Amino acid sequence: MLKSTFTPIFSTFPAKLSALQKFPRFTTAANAFTQSTPPIQQNSSTAPTSAYVHLPFCRKRCHYCDFPIVALGSANPTDADPRISNYIELLLREIVSTKPEFDSHPPLQTVFFGGGTPSLVSPGLVSSILDTLKRKFGLCEDAEISMEMDPGTFDAGKMEELMGLGVNRVSLGVQAFQEELLKSCGRAHGIKEVYEAIEIIGSCGVQNWSIDLISSLPHQTPQMWEESLRHTIQAQPKHVSVYDLQVEKDTKFGILYSPGEFPLPSETQSADFYRMASRILSDAGYSHYEISSYSKDGFECKHNFTYWKNKPFYGFGLGSASYINGLRFSRPRKMKEYMGYVQNLETGEVDCCGNNHIDAKDMVMDIVMLSLRTARGLDLRFFANEFGGSLVYSLCKVYKPYIESGHVVCLDEERRELTADELNTLFTHEEDIASRLGCIRLSDPDGFLLSNELISLAFRVIAP
C-alpha cells in the first residue's frame, strides 16, 4: 500500500510531499556491504543546479499538516509584517553565507518555492530572494522557477508580477473540489476561491501549472474523489499531483482519527482511490511518471526530477534539506534554532552540509527507493556496475513472485518487456541477469501500490 509508516528520506522533504505521502528511508543499509566496498562517485563532486526555498507562512495550519510553518491569521499579510520581513532577511543571510564547495558552479536550472504558502509573500520579497540566488550561484535564463500557491492568496496583479520575475510554474494547492472536505481539512480557502484561482492562472497565460489533490480524506467518498478528478481535468492543468493522506501525530487529524478507521477510508478504499486516479488521469492524456505525479508530455516537474534521480540540491530556510557532496543535512524546524544556525553559518561554526555522512552503503538504498518511485524504474546496468551483478541477481530473485504476478516489470536495454519464458531462462543463469536486463520498474497502478513492501524486500536483500 502507498500509506507508509517509514521515516521519510529527508526530515523535511523539499517539496510538499512528506506530510501527505511519505516514502521509506532505511537507515541501516550500511550493514549491506563490507569495509572494502568502494565509495560511489555519483554526486561526490557535482555542484547542485537546483535550489529549494522554504517560505513557511500560512494563514492557518491545515488539520493534516506537520510542516514547519508560521500561521499569520486570516488576512493576507503585507511586507511590513515583521514575521515575514525578518524571516526573509534571515533567509537571505543564509544564502549569502553558504560557501560553494566547487571550483566551478553551473547556474541554477530549477528553483522551487515551497511552504507553507509562498504566494502569501510579496513579489518584491520574492525578487530579493531570486536576485540573491542569482548573485550567489547564477540562474539560467530558462530556469524552471516553481511556486506553491493557494487559492485566495493571489490576484491577477500579483500573478503577473511574479511571472515578470521569472516564476514560470505554479503548483496550485486545491486538495479537493468539495466545500465540506475543504472545511474539514481546515483549509483557509473555499471552492469559490478555487475557481477564481484557476481563472486567474488562465487569464494571466500561465502555461506550466499543476493542481494538487489529496485522497483518503475523512468522509471522502469515491464519488467525491471522482468529482475532484473530473473537475481537475476540466481545468486543464499540465500537471497533477495526487497525494494519499498520512495521519501524523500531533496534528489535529492525528488527535481525532486513527488510520484505517471511520471516517477515514480503509486501506482497500484508499487503494481504489489510487487506481481511480491512475485510470481517469491516464485516460485524459496524463502520463503517470512518478508515484504521485501525472503530467502532459513535456511538463514533468524538472525540479522534482532532481530528487528522483538522486542529484545534489541546495535547501534554504526553516526545516529545509540539502544534499551536497553525498551529504544530507536538514535545517532546524523551529525559528529560534534556525536563527542560531544562520548565525553559526555566518561565523563558520557550521557549514551548509553538517556532519551527516552518507556513503555507498546508504546511497544504494536511496537509489533503489527513488528509482522505483518513477515510471522509468531502476537502471540495472548502472546498479550492477556500482554494486555487482550478484546483488542484481539477488534483487531480481526476491522479486520473482512479484514479476510473475505482474507487480514488477522487467525490461531489456531497449525497454522491451521480457516474456515469462525469457525470464525463466535468465533465472537459471545468474550471470545472465545483470547482462540481459536493462531495468526493472513497478507496474501502474498495482505495483506502485505495493511500493513500500517491495522496497522493504530490497532492503532485506541489501541489509540481511
Per-residue pLDDT reduced to its tens digit, 210-268: 999 999 999 999 999 999 999 999 999 999 999 999 999 889 999 999 988 999 999 99
Q: Tell me whether residue 393 is in a domain.
A: yes
Whether the pLDDT of residue 463 is over 90: the answer is no
Q: What is the pLDDT of residue 357?
A: 58
Q: Which amino acid is at 134?
A: K
Do both 293 and 377 map to the same domain? Answer: no
Do both 305 and 367 map to the same domain? Answer: no
The tally of domains found in the chain comes to 2
Do both 146 and 288 map to the same domain? Answer: yes
Whether the pLDDT of residue 29 is over 60: the answer is no
Q: How far is CA 35 from CA 118, 361, 405, in A?
A: 45, 10, 37
Whether the pLDDT of residue 145 is over 60: the answer is yes
For the segment 20-42, the average pLDDT, to the nearest whole number, is: 33
Please give the model's pTM, rounded to 2 decimal places: 0.89
Do both 289 and 373 map to the same domain? Answer: no
Do both 271 and 190 map to the same domain? Answer: yes
What secondary structure letter does DSSP report for 374? Answer: B
User: Could you tell me the residue range of the domain that residue 448 belongs to?
Assistant: 360-462
Q: Which amino acid is at 84?
A: I
Instruction: Return the CATH number at 272.
Output: 3.20.20.70
What is the three-class DSSP state of 239? Answer: strand
Do both 369 and 272 map to the same domain? Answer: no
Looking at per-residue confidence, does 299 or 328 come out higher?
299
Report CA torsion sign: 191, 194, 200, 203.
negative
Report CA torsion sign: 64, 121, 233, 242.
negative
CA distance 354 to 323: 10
Do both 305 and 365 map to the same domain? Answer: no
Among the candidates 249, 283, 309, a domain finishes at 309
For the segment 326-348, the average pLDDT, to the nearest whole number, is: 93
Q: What is the pLDDT of residue 390?
A: 84
CA distance 368 to 365: 5
Task: Please state which of the ranges 41-50, 285-294, 400-409 shows the lowest mean pLDDT.
Answer: 41-50
Whether the pLDDT of residue 21 is over 60: the answer is no
Q: Tell me whether residue 77 is in a domain.
A: yes
H/E element holding 364? helix 360-372
CA distance 318 to 196: 30
Q: Tell me whether residue 415 is in a domain.
A: yes
Among the candidates 309, 343, 374, a domain finishes at 309
Q: Tell me whether residue 240 is in a domain.
A: yes
Whether the pLDDT of residue 166 is over 90: the answer is yes
Helix axes 156-165, 191-203, angle to 10 degrees: 50
Do both 393 and 274 map to the same domain? Answer: no
User: Please, what is the Cα angle at 186 between 4 and 194, to 5 degrees?
Assistant: 100
Extract the runs of DSSP E, i.e. beta strands, from 357-420. 378-379, 408-411
Do both 369 and 304 map to the same domain? Answer: no
Q: What is the pLDDT of residue 358?
A: 57
Among the candidates 309, 327, 345, a domain finishes at 309
Q: Please report, rounded to a whole number, the percentage of residues in the chain having pLDDT higher than 90.
A: 69
Q: What is the pLDDT of residue 355?
A: 53
Contact 284, 450 (CB under 8 A): no
Q: How confident is the model at residue 433 (pLDDT cuts 50, 70, 90)?
A: confident
Q: Tell me whether residue 344 is in a domain.
A: no
Q: Give residue for cell 524504474.
A: 377
Instruction: Write out the three cell numbers for 98.
Output: 553558504
Q: Tell me whether residue 229 is in a domain.
A: yes
Looking at per-residue confidence, does 108 or 36 come out higher?
108
Do both 182 and 286 map to the same domain? Answer: yes
Contact 23, 6 (CB under 8 A): yes
Q: What is the pLDDT of residue 462?
A: 83
H/E element holding 344? helix 335-347
Q: How confident is the model at residue 134 (pLDDT cuts 50, 70, 90)?
A: very high
Q: Tell me whether residue 31 is in a domain.
A: no
Q: Please report, rounded to a whole number, the percentage of residues in the chain having pLDDT higher than 70.
A: 88
What secondary structure letter does DSSP report for 24? Answer: -
| Terminal Cα-to-Cα distance of the chain (whole angstroms) | 23
Whether the pLDDT of residue 350 is over 90: the answer is no
Q: Tell me whether residue 295 is in a domain.
A: yes
Do both 230 and 377 map to the same domain? Answer: no
Task: Please state which of the ranges 7-21, 408-422, 435-449 shows the lowest mean pLDDT.
Answer: 7-21
Cis omega (within 30 of 0) for bond into 116: yes
Do both 296 and 369 map to the same domain? Answer: no
What is the three-class DSSP state of 214? Answer: strand
Average pLDDT in the chain: 87
